[in-house]
């Protein structure tokens, strides 16, 4: 089962400063308010990101040392992504962060993970499609992501924007959930609405969609 975790008020920590940690940081940065990266050394790309992004806090720390000292240096993590180049340290950090109550993802070790990080196809501000192979093949997840990205059109994104608008109107004017659902699907399937969206005439499509919703009142 895939779930979309909202991380707005969660503490996220990445342990590691190399290639994999860099990749994970870039992958999650759009969706979190703050992230702490802990390592003895950091890639140039992580350093560059931290200089540009105030949301990224770097903590220089030797993960081979006494981890109890680390508790006082970072916020207690709700989500821990463990991405060092050393399998022994990864397992050690897995035990440590679990002891702090974090949900854990250990790179390339599915059996130690509470969650997988799917390949994400992003469209506009609000649409995210996750492709997960449950750790079996991240490479194929990336291939499938690219195929999906090629199928989503600008009209689809405008329809999502339109649905957000008319859904709010529907909640105010259509009391019955099933009736409201039918009205929203009627907007999605309306040929005139779709034709206008395809021509990027959003305002005209919105007027027709509003009329469809209000006719159900």
Q: What is the CA radius of gyration of the chain?
A: 22
Cα 141 to its chain centre, rounded Å, is 15
Of 26-35, 144-153, 199-208, the poorest mean pLDDT is in 26-35
Burial class from Cβ neighbours inside 10 Å (0-12, 13-18, 19+) for residue 34 reads middle
Q: How far apart are CA 104 and CA 85, in angstroms?
A: 17
Rounded Cα–Cα distance for residues 193 and 170 (Å): 17
pLDDT reported for residue 136? 74
Residue 107 structure tokens: 């790179």
CA dist 200 and 206 (Å) reads 11
Is the pTM higher than 0.75? The answer reads: no
Once rounded to an integer, what is the mean pLDDT over residues 96-125?
86
User: Quick one: pLDDT band at residue 9, thresholds 50, 70, 90?
Assistant: confident
Length of the chain: 217
Mean pLDDT lowest for which of 26-30, 75-79, 163-167?
26-30
Asked if residue 52 has pLDDT above 80, the reply is yes
Q: Which residues, at least 6 apart from 88, have a Cβ–Cβ distance to it below 8 Å?
A: none
Confidence (pLDDT) at 181: 93
In this structure, what is the dihedral angle of CA atoms 64, 67, 69, 70, given to the nearest 10 degrees?
Answer: 100
Q: Are 28 and 12 in contact (CB under 8 A)?
A: yes
Lowest mean pLDDT among 115-124, 172-181, 203-212: 115-124
Instruction: Kindly indicate the confidence band of residue 6, based on its pLDDT and cuts at 50, 70 and 90.
Output: low
Check pLDDT > 90 for residue 69.
Answer: yes
Determine the pLDDT at residue 4.
66
- Tell me, what's the pLDDT at 2? 58
Judged against a pLDDT cut of 60, whether residue 26 lies above it is answered with yes
Tell the burial category of 25 from Cβ atoms under 10 Å away from its Cβ (0-12, 13-18, 19+). buried
Give the pLDDT confidence of 142-179 residue by residue, as tens digits. 899 888 888 888 999 999 999 999 999 999 998 899 99
d(CA 158, CA 148): 17
Q: Where are the beta strands (DSSP E) in 34-125?
A: 35-39, 56-60, 79-82, 103-106, 119-123
The pLDDT, as a whole number, for residue 164 is 93
* Residue 1 pLDDT exceeds 60: no
Average pLDDT, the chain: 90
- Above 70 in pLDDT, residue 3? no
Torsion angles phi and psi, residue 104, rounded to 5: -125, 140
């Amino acid at each position: 089962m895939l779930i979309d975790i909202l991380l707005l008020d969660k503490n996220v920590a990445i342990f590691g400063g190399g290639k994999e940690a860099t990749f994970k940081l870039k992958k999650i940065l759009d969706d979190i308010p703050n992230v702490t990266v802990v390592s003895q050394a950091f890639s140039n790309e992580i350093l560059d990101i931290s200089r540009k992004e105030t949301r990224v806090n770097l903590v220089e720390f030797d993960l081979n040392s006494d981890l109890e000292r680390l508790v006082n240096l970072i916020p207690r993590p709700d989500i821990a992504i463990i991405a060092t180049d050393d399998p022994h340290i990864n397992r050690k950090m897995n035990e440590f962060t679990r002891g702090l109550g974090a949900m854990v993802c250990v790179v390339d070790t599915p059996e130690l993970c509470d969650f997988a990080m799917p390949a994400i196809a992003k469209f506009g501000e609000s649409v995210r499609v996750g492709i997960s192979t449950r750790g079996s093949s991240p490479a194929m997840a990336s291939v499938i992501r690219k195929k999906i990205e090629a199928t989503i059109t600008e009209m689809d994104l405008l329809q999502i924007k339109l649905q957000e608008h008319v859904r709010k109107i529907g909640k105010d004017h259509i009391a019955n959930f099933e009736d409201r659902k039918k009205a929203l699907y009627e907007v999605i399937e309306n040929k005139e609405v779709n034709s206008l969206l395809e021509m990027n005439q959003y305002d005209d499509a919105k007027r027709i969609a509003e009329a469809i919703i209000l006719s159900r009142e």
